[in-house]
Amino acid sequence: MSQLLWPLVRFLLLIEVAASVNFFHHRYEQLVQALFNVHNECPDITRIYTIGRSVQGRHLYVLEFSDNPGIHEPLEPEFKYVGNMHGNEVLGRELLLQLSEFLCEEYHRRNERLTRLIWDTRIHILPSMNPDGYEVAANQDPDAIGYLMGRNNANGIDLNRNFPDLNTFMYYNEKNGGPNHHIPLPANWKSQVEPETLAVIHWMSRYNFVLSANLHGGALVANYPYDKAQEQRSRGYQRKSNTPSPTPDDKLFRKLAKAYSYAHHSMHQSPTCGEQFADGITNGASWYSLSKGMQDFNYLYTNCFEITLELSCDKFPPQKDLEKEWLVNREALITYLEEVHQGIKGLVSDENNNGIAGAVISVNGIGHDVTSGDQGDYFRLLLPGTYTITASADGYRPQTATVTVGPAGPSLVSCAEVGERCVVQIVPLAIQPGPQVTKDIGWSCSTHTYFSGSQQWRELAGPDSCQVPFPTAFPFLSG
């Protein structure tokens, strides 16, 4: 090859690496490559980390988008998308890769809406929670794949039936008094969950997620908690299979589910995959009751509100449909993400302006509380309306305030020093204080640094559980 042509060929190769994620089913190595490609295209606003390994040792990679990757900025909410929990339900996995590429490219194009979203939100994307199951499903003949082939993890366990069952405690507390938020885990829980589930529970504990969606397939509906029906114990009572099991946040969950179904091209019209759903949404238990699911666990153990999105009649859609499915879901994926900014947020602090972690934020009339994060900031998703909210913490006098949530954007409510202790103070959104930039607490993976310019990365610090292996198997071009 001539000396003159070689630079041109190299240039074209680099263009190809930087090109779009493309519409094909990504095997594990291709998925990892795609995530690193997006990171290399947008190194300033992304970070790749792993939350653990599958049974067969594949990494559960997360791609984070933020104006300050690796850092929790107080008052900036954390959001997550989880795909491919059932290994044979693969559309979510591909949609999340497309979404990652889209966020990166639109940021480069200075798309105002998405740039603002990335500036104001910390977005975590886990394209595959069950990479082992995916490989089993992907190895089948697409025309002859069994309905359940690859659904479970490599130990044969359904991960959406594998979280600690906190609903039983919640129903007990409902009758006898006790919280329905941050319910303690049973003593032996770790021995009863799979590695993938354990990794996700640790992930949920390390980040104060506010809103989430779990992407599945096999139907077309947005499903909201609770998934588990309250058992009817009275003898002789024939329990209907479609008994709804609403949370105290039922109205909010319906609105969140509709945010997706109405922004989706057709979900709200409830086209049939055999079943009809009004508005394209359903309460989980009203559809069919299941125990130990992930969305109920989010609500009962963390501050996070999660819904489950069933995105395609066909669990493993043909490759030719992927581009169409992306266009059908694109607006809905963005619209749902923006819902993380609907409600109130603020800071709970002591008389010295130190943030109080674990303070309880209660909303009068809604029987479900949230708590403040490590730096004292809290987020409470709410529908438009006027609310009386109370902040309380051990050793402090509770403080109450009235706050109005408008139809657009969050109200900022802070808890600043007044008198000897803490008061909730309403601060207009326009004078929202600049966030203090602080390193993540308790998540030393954030100390990893990636050097995308040379297409390599180095690990600076972090325990073994956080190590991300250098992906030597993947054909990175050297710089």
Q: Which residues contact Zn ion (rule: CB under 5 A)?
A: 86, 89, 216
**Closer residue to Zn ion, CB minimum distance, 80 or 86:** 86
Determine the residue with CB nearest Zn ion: 216
In the complex, the smallest distance separating the C-beta of residue 86 from Zn ion, rounded to whole angstroms, is 4
Q: In what side-by-side order are the strands of the sheet with 281-283?
A: 46-53, 59-65, 122-126, 78-83, 209-216, 305-312, 219-224, 281-283
Beta carbon nearer to Zn ion, 47 or 216: 216
- Identify residue 19 by its one-letter amino acid code: A
Is residue 413 within 8 A of residue 425, CB to CB? The reply is yes
- Evaluate whether 142 touches 316 at the Cβ level (below 8 Å): yes
Tokens of 114: 């998405």
Q: Please say which residue, 103 or 307, places its beta carbon nearer to Zn ion.
A: 307
Closest separation in Å from C-beta 146 to Zn ion: 15
Residue 204: alpha-carbon gap to chain centroid? 9
Query: Backbone phi, then psi, for 37, in 5-degree steps?
Result: -60, -45
* Residue number, 146 or 385, with CB nearest to Zn ion: 146
Contact 164/228 with Cβ under 8 angstroms? no
Instruction: Round to whole Å and give the CA distance between 460 and 270.
Output: 50
Catalytic residue among 194, 310, 325, 339: 310
16 annotated active-site: no
For Zn ion, the closer CB: 86 or 122: 86
Find the shortest distance in angstroms from Cβ 208 to Zn ion: 26
CA–chain centroid gap for 312, Å, is 19
CB of 457 to Zn ion, least distance (A): 33
Question: What is the smallest separation between the CB atom of 383 and Zn ion, expressed in angstroms?
Answer: 28
Cα–Cα–Cα angle for 137, 142, 145, nearest 5°?
60
Q: Burial level of 417, CB count in 10 A (0-12/13-18/19+)?
A: middle
Residues marked active site are found at 310
